A = this chain, B = another copy of it.
Amino acid sequence: MERSTPPRGTVTQRAIEQLKSLISEGHLEPGQRLPTERDLAVRLGISRSSMREAIRALTVLGVLEARHGSGIYVTRLQAADLLETLGVVADLSRGPQLIELMEIRRALEATAAAIAAARISPEQLAEVETHLDAMYATEDPGEILAHDLAFHRAVAVAGGNGTLVAILDGLSSRTFRARVWRGYQEEGVFDRTRHEHRRILDALRARDPEAARAAAAAHVGEVESWLRARQT
| Interface of A toward B, CB cutoff 8 Å | 12, 16, 20, 23-24, 49, 52-53, 56-57, 59-61, 63, 77-79, 82-83, 85, 88-89, 91-94, 97, 100-101, 103-104, 107-108, 111, 161-164, 167, 175
Is A92 touching B49 in the complex (CB atoms < 8 A)? no
Nearest-Cβ distance from residue A36 to partner chain B, whole angstroms: 17
Q: Across the interface, name the chain B residue whose C-beta is closest to A160.
A: B100
Top 9 A-B pairs, shortest CB-CB distance:
A100-B163, A107-B111, A57-B60, A82-B89, A53-B56, A100-B161, A85-B85, A56-B57, A77-B92
Residues of B within 8 A of A163 (CB): 93, 97, 100-101, 103-104
Q: Across the interface, name the chain B residue whose C-beta is closest to A112.
A: B107
Residues of B within 8 A of A52 (CB): 49, 53
Nearest-Cβ distance from residue A12 to partner chain B, whole angstroms: 7
Q: Across the interface, name the chain B residue whose C-beta is closest to A21.
A: B91
Is B63 touching A162 in the complex (CB atoms < 8 A)? no
Residues of B within 8 A of A167 (CB): 104
